[in-house]
Amino acid sequence: MKYKDSIYNPDFIRNSSHKKKHTRSMKAVSKIGTGATYIILVVISFIWLIPFVYLLLQSFAVKFEPEYFIPREFTFNNYVQLFTDTTYPFWKWYLNSFIIAVVTTVFQTILVLLTAYSLSRLRFKGRQAIMNLILILGMFPGFLGMICIYNILKLFCGGNEPSIFSIIIIYCANSAMSYYIAKGFFDTIPKSLDEAVRIDGGNNNTVFWKVIVPMSKPIIIYTILISFTTPWGDFMLASMLAGLKTSNWTVAVGLQTIINTIGNETKMFPFFCAGGVVVSIPIMALFFWLQKYYVEGIAGGAVKG
Amino acid sequence: MSKPLRILYKIGSFFKSIPLAIWKFLKKIPFVILKLLRKATIPFITLKDALVYGDWKVRLSFLVCGFGEFTRKQVVRGVLVLLLQICFTVYFSVFGWKMLANLADLGYIASAEVPINTPPYTRNFYLDNSLLILLYSIVTIIFALIMIYLWYNSIRNSYVLYKNEQIGKEASDKEYLASYVGKKYQNILLSVPMVGLVLFTIIPMIFMILIGFTNYTSDRLTPIKLFDWVGLQTYANLFASKVSNSNLIIQSFLHVITWTLIWAFFATFTNYFLGMVVAMLINKKTIKLKKLWRTILVTTIAVPQFVSLLLISRMFDESYGVVNEILKSLGLIKKSIAFLSTFPITNIVIIVVNIWIGIPYTMLICTGILMNIPEDLYESAKIDGASPFKMYMKITLPYMLFITGPYLISQFVGNINNFNVIYLLSKGGPNFTFKPGVTVPTQLTGLGRSDLLITWIYKMTITNNPKDYASGSVMGICIFVIVAFLSLILYNRSSSVKNEEDFQ
């Protein structure tokens, strides 16, 4: 009796059922675990998709009724209204946002890559000073400086609201501040490659084009993606520079105004949803197309390792 | 020692080490000053040497920049410096000195009626403009500093050329220009970004810091009116209860600052840990359709934040929100809940919605790193009989924290200034309510209980009337102090920032 559960009991060894039982229970546990994980993932996906489904459904609604998640009647008119509405010239905002985002992307990508390359690859007097300066500047809310720029631009425009090009200038001029991720990525490219090029008689320029650019496709695409989506979705700066002239607004300012104007809560909601869908389309397309690079860029640059 | 005790002990020893760290820092200061002073004397010695031992060409380049250079075959360099000197002299004598002269009082007369010959026989002339005086003074000072540096550089170079000539070394433009492709390549690469930075970040920043010492509000908008220096008056109005009745401001300020820190903490860490958990769930070997799950989450990143946030703010609305309607139809509540305008509920809703916004980013970042953790670590842990939770605490978490440390810090700092989530969701509401009969200071107009410092500044300077730029500037400096303090502590403790070269 004493040795019933131990290896001194010959029966116990012969059967050794405890072992089988153990593995069986392990398998059961892992099966339950997998099942639970699937359930959690489904719930998560559900929660994450609901707002977008709601946005899409309501964009086709004839009339906004808060009681119905799925609208009772569907129409395509909201999308037509985006192009015809005169109080809220959505297509104009869309064009503004698009111009701002494209021009900013071109300049910002170039400037970010230049800054990141010089700070990552070249060693010179004042390098650390520039990095510290940018670090300290980043601690000030950049928004404060914008107020100053806004008032000055307004002064130079003779008291009128500044045009969208002022926004472009401000977005581009600050691009040196966002060099970190690209620099982090460049830092991981082995320096021996640079030396190999230099031995072959190359200078800094050749290093950039022959080593850095071919090896950093993810970070270049990541930079392009970020420089496009940031101005596209920026609200704070755009709302400050927008002023009262509706034709100068960007989509962010426009849609925010539509939804927060008193009296528009129910009337304009389907219009807002249609606008939201149209605004999301380019970014979504870009993202799903370039998702791979986005992940590689952010993983390689934001996080060293 | 048990685990919670150990954590407490660690926290305690961290705070215990602060005085020592400060003392160490203070002890370093005299040496640093001495070192800086010694460094600062070098230019003067060079200038003296050039003046005493140089020939007449070097001495003349004290007055005419670049003279010693273009007489010694570095024509391009010399002419460029000379041109810049002429530009500066013209700018300063025609325009700059007037601005500097007016800097002390920021102008006397804003505008004047002047009689003219044609009807309506008077015309309004704008004279002094405080905004422009302040701005151009800063520009002039920066221009002057750059000019002094170039002047010194040119004299030093003339002296070097003179010495080289004496030992028979010839200088040329070719060599100088070639150095810009080789050793000085960064000057070309960085010139455009740095000019942008100086013009559109540094000058505005200096300007706004100085605004904190004036009484600039939209009531004193130039060019119709002037503003003036008031010293520390704006600071006193906000923080010194003896000067004005600012107890209310101090109370609200403490509330805002506490909420800002709580928000930044929760927003950063809930996202980080939950995002890591989701990434680990998807990374499980037994889970199929990995790409599908990831893509579903990435949708949140792909839709612009302002669209999803405005939509969610609508969905949680008290009277028109679908969430309330659904809860009502399910019979869970009878009356609508004001999700975005009741004090603690709003703050909780904001943090929860932020989890929804932030998890996909963390998930994407963590996915790659999680796969890089060596598999044999887990194998050996399994053999030793470690539970999954223990493996997470001992292997996954330390590894992740080591690698994503800098990311976490930048997230924390970014969340302190996270304007979008707060403003687009609740607009900072619900507003503070004060006892009737209390005169509410103008700085508190529109301030709500879910406002961060940054949205407070936004309200002060953009949406309020009058727009109080001076107080906004003071608040901005508060943000700077907090952020600088936090990042100083955090960065000093993160190893991957210190060892920048390790990874190359």
pLDDT at B352 over 90: yes
**What is the pTM for the complete model shown?**
0.83
pLDDT at B282 over 70: yes
- The vertex-B184 CA angle with B179 and B188, nearest 5°, equals 110
**Contacts of residue B456 in chain A, CB cutoff 8 Å?**
none
DSSP state of B439: P
pLDDT at B340 over 90: no
Q: Which residues contact B477 (CB under 8 A, 6 or more apart)?
A: B209, B212
Q: What is the pLDDT of residue B400?
A: 82
Q: Best residue in A30, A124, A139 to probe B by mutation, most B CBs within 10 Å?
A: A139
Tell me what the pLDDT averaged over chain A comes to: 81
Res. B152 pLDDT band, cuts 50 70 90: very high
- The vertex-A159 CA angle with A157 and A161, nearest 5°, equals 70
Q: What is the pLDDT of residue B504?
A: 39
Q: Do A295 and B184 touch (CB under 8 A)?
A: no
Is residue A186 a contact partner of residue B503, using CB atoms and an 8 Å limit?
A: no
Structure tokens at B269: 């860490």
- What end-to-end distance do the CA atoms of chain A give, in Å? 58
**In this structure, which amino acid lies at residue A50?**
I
The Cα A171–Cα B256 span in angstroms is 29
Kindly state the helix (H) or strand (E) to which residue B113 belongs, with its residue range.
strand B111-115
DSSP string, A156-222: HTTTSPP-HHHHHHHHHHTGGGG-HHHHHHHHTS-HHHHHHHHHTT--HHHIIIIIIHHHTHHHHHH
Q: Could you count the other beta carbons within 10 Å of the beta carbon of residue B33? A: 10
Q: What is the pLDDT of residue A5?
A: 52
CA of B286 vs chain A CAs: smallest distance (Å)? 7
pLDDT tens column, B79-136: 888 999 999 999 999 888 888 888 888 777 777 777 777 777 777 777 778 888 888 8
The Cα B44–Cα B75 span in angstroms is 26
Q: Best residue in A43, A110, A148 to probe B by mutation, most B CBs within 10 Å?
A: A148
Among the residues of chain A, which ranges form H helices? Answer: 10-15, 17-59, 77-84, 90-121, 127-139, 142-156, 164-173, 180-187, 191-199, 204-206, 213-215, 217-233, 236-242, 251-260, 269-301
Report B:174-193 residues touching A (Cβ under 8 A): 181-182, 184-186, 189-190, 192-193
Over residues B482-490, the mean pLDDT reads: 83
Q: Point out the least confidently predicted range of A8-22, A150-164, A201-215.
A: A8-22
The Cα B320–Cα B299 span in angstroms is 25
**Contacts of residue B290 in chain A, CB cutoff 8 Å?**
none
Q: Point out the least confidently predicted range of A289-303, B29-43, B52-66, B463-477.
A: A289-303
DSSP state of B334: S
Q: Which residue has the higher pLDDT, B7 or A273?
A: A273
Q: Is the ipTM of this complex over 0.95?
A: no
Res. A9 pLDDT band, cuts 50 70 90: low
Label residues B176-206 b or e (16+ Cβ within 10 Å = b): beeeeeeebbbeebbebbbebbeebbbbbbb
Over residues A241-258, the mean pLDDT reads: 83
Q: Which residues contact A257 (CB under 8 A, 6 or more apart)?
A: A249
Q: Point out the least confidently predicted range of A40-54, B145-159, B389-403.
A: B389-403
Res. A185 pLDDT band, cuts 50 70 90: confident
HEC assignment per residue over B460-484:
HHHHCCCCEHHHHHHHHHHHHHHHH
Interaxial angle between packed helices A90-121 and A269-301, expressed in degrees from 0 to 180 and rounded to the nearest 10: 10
Res. B266 pLDDT band, cuts 50 70 90: very high
Q: What is the pLDDT of residue A1?
A: 45
Structure tokens at B311: 């939509």
Q: What is the pLDDT of residue B285?
A: 81
Q: What is the pLDDT of residue B246?
A: 60
Q: Point out the least confidently predicted range of A243-257, B34-48, B172-186.
A: B172-186
Q: What is the pLDDT of residue A2?
A: 47
> Strand pairing partners for B111?
B126
pLDDT tens column, B453-466: 999 998 888 888 88
Q: Do A41 and B295 touch (CB under 8 A)?
A: no
Q: Point out the least confidently predicted range of A75-79, A154-158, B141-145, B385-389.
A: A154-158
Q: What is the pLDDT of residue B501?
A: 47
B13 touches chain A (CB under 8 A): no
